[in-house]
Amino acid sequence: MNNLLYKEFKLSLHPTAWLFLPLAAMLLIPSYPYYVAFFYQTLGIFFIFLNGNTTNDLFFTTLLPIRKVDAVKARFITVMILELLQIFIAVPFALLRARINPGPNLAGMDANPALFGLVFVMFALFNIVFLPAFYKTGYKTGAPYILSSVVMFLFVAAAEAVIQLTPAIRQALDTLNPAYLPQQMAVLLGGILAYGLITLAAYRASARRFERLDL
Amino acid sequence: MRKNKTMTPVLSVTNLTKTYPAFQLKNVSFTLEPGKIMGFIGRNGAGKTTTIKSMLNLVHPDSGTMQFFGLDMPAREFEIKQRIAFIFGAANYYAQSKIKTITGVYRRFYHQWDERLYQTFLQRFALDPEKKIKQLSQGMSIKYALALALSHHAELLILDEPTSGLDPVSRDELLTIFENLVDQEGVSIFFSTHITSDLDKSADVITYIKEGEIFASQDKDRFVASYRLVEGCCADLPVELRARITGYHERRGEFSGLLRVEDAPLFATLRITPADLETIMVYTERRPA
């Protein structure tokens, strides 16, 4: 597996994946829908798959002495590394934003633990929609990406609607007030749990589909 | 090499069947003995690549069994792939990456990677490790794919069109390498091609696939010796004998066609010459005009 991960980072990764990581700094913008800073990384991941079609990545990989499912597993680990990096890099910017500008975000959720919980769910939805749809064919990237973007957008819109329109929830989650940290941490933990479970389901579905595929 | 009847075949394919909407692979069976070169021939679309992909578990056959070194594929896929090497034409992957980067990844996957051997291939093929794949000509790219495939002491090479795109000198060079691998290191080669003249020189066994079915799989010399090319004036050809000719072709009063060697005495008055693989394939595949 280490060899396959080495291959992923040496040959498969598209440079944009790295370029999007610093976009975590968008959390410093006073009022902004912060989900966008994370959404960019799904674009970086999409480019890995798109680029893979150009470089014959799957062809090279499946001919190596590996099991077919190992190729899927290595790609999943790569995707998760990028998503988690995107989140980790954003944390200091969220803290910095709270310190230098403690005012509320007028364009959506404040950059607090609950936001990160929702971002975990957003990434989980990307993983479950985009990845199994790609591994169904081994080459189609466009339609799965559009579909996953729509699902992510609907989730964010729904989450924001519920939070902003329900005063009690809004008071607890859309704030930098440390008094509500326990509630926000609960959302974060729930998001991490959902991310783990949904991504595992996405892996299982992708591996099963890819195994069945005639290349 | 001493003949040993109990020797395990390096490759044995039995009753391989795969149905596509517009094409079917039907009960494909053949066996490759150790230390032999098998030429796998057939026209475009006959099922060569589908057969190879099924062998490598890239395509799922509907039925049939594949064994490498007596081990079942795909159950022992991992182990088998360490011991074999394949080339599907040129190295047509990661066009923007350098040779040394790709090799740096590839070599990690093989326990038996031999860096010194790899370096000798780079030198012999005049490959510059700093070059990107996109800077290589078709021929150089095939040579790079070969250098990778030949550097981990594979016991069986599976080659799909390894010589198309190479100049005659490079082709000869390559065939010599293959012959040396077989003669000196006991490697076996499964060699799919439509350039049959490569096989005239080097193959021990011929497996001929036609419309998804194995038309013949036997010793090359015996296979070639079982045919004759017949040519002559149409006027000299007795009508009742015409049905015995395969791929009958007529132009300006002259005809040509393929015969089974046992029928040759019947045509004694006409010009009979030995057939080579290309002739056999062309006449066998020719459809009536």
Reported as a single tens digit per residue, the pLDDT across B163-216 is 777 888 888 888 898 898 899 888 999 999 888 888 888 899 999 999 999 999
**Are the beta carbons of B94 and A56 separated by less than 8 Å?**
yes
Quick: pLDDT tens for B24-42: 999 999 999 999 999 999 9
Residue B143: per-residue pLDDT? 87
pLDDT for residue B89 is more than 90:
no
Distances B120 to A132, B115, B217 between C-alpha atoms, Å: 43, 9, 35
d(CA A109, CA A171): 11
* Per-residue pLDDT, B3: 46
Which ipTM value was assigned to this complex? 0.86
Q: Which residues of A touch B92 (CB under 8 A)?
A: 56, 59
User: Is A214 within 8 Å of B109 when comparing Cβ atoms?
Assistant: no
Measured between alpha carbons, how far is residue A1 from residues A42, A58, B142 in Å? 23, 16, 28
Q: Tell me the chain B residues in contact with residue A57 when contact means C-beta distances shorter than 8 Å.
A: 93-94
Of B241 and B109, the one with more pLDDT: B109
Average pLDDT, chain A: 93
* Triad B218, B223, B227: Cα angle to 5°: 155
Instruction: Please check the confidence at residue A35 and state whether its pLDDT lies above 90.
Output: yes
pLDDT for B289 equals 62
Q: Which two tokens stand for residue A155?
A: 């989730």
Task: Tell me the two tokens of residue A102.
Answer: 């403690």
Burial A24-49 (b: 16+ CB within 10 A, else e): bebbebeebebbebbbbbbbbbbbbb
Tokens of A41: 């990384």
How would you classify the pairing of strands B37-41 and B188-192?
parallel
Lowest-pLDDT range, A27-41, A46-60, B2-16?
B2-16
Question: Cβ separation of B81 and A62 shorter than 8 Å?
Answer: no
**Span A87-109, mean pLDDT?**
89
Residue A128 clears pLDDT 60, i.e. is over it: yes
Residues in chain A closer than 8 A to B101 (CB atoms): 10-11
CB A144 within 8 A of CB A133: yes
| Contact (CB, 8 A) for B15 and B65 | yes
- Using the Cβ of A56 and the Cβ atoms of chain B, whether some distance falls under 8 Å is answered with yes
Give B53's contacts in chain A (Cβ within 8 Å).
214-215
| C-alpha dist (Å) from residue A32 to A23, A27, A29, A36, A63 | 13, 8, 6, 8, 46
How many contacts does A have with B, using Cβ atoms within 8 A?
58
What integer is the mean pLDDT of A73-89?
96
Neighbouring residues of A92: CB distance < 8 A, sequence distance ≥ 6: none
Report pLDDT for B1: 43
Structure tokens at A187: 């959302």
The answer to whether the beta carbons of residues B118 and B103 sit under 8 Å apart is yes
Contact B93 A57 (CB under 8 A): yes
Q: State pLDDT tens for residues A171-187.
A: 988 888 889 999 999 99
Name the E strands within chain B. 11-20, 23-32, 37-41, 63-68, 71-73, 84-88, 156-160, 188-192, 205-210, 213-219, 227-233, 246-251, 254-260, 271-274
pLDDT in tens, B205-260: 999 999 999 999 999 999 999 999 999 998 888 888 888 899 999 889 999 999 99
Nearest to B142 by CA among B114, B117, B121, B156: B121
Residue range A39-60, pLDDT digits in tens: 999 999 999 999 999 999 998 9
Q: What stretches of B152-285 adopt beta strand conformation (E)? A: 156-160, 188-192, 205-210, 213-219, 227-233, 246-251, 254-260, 271-274
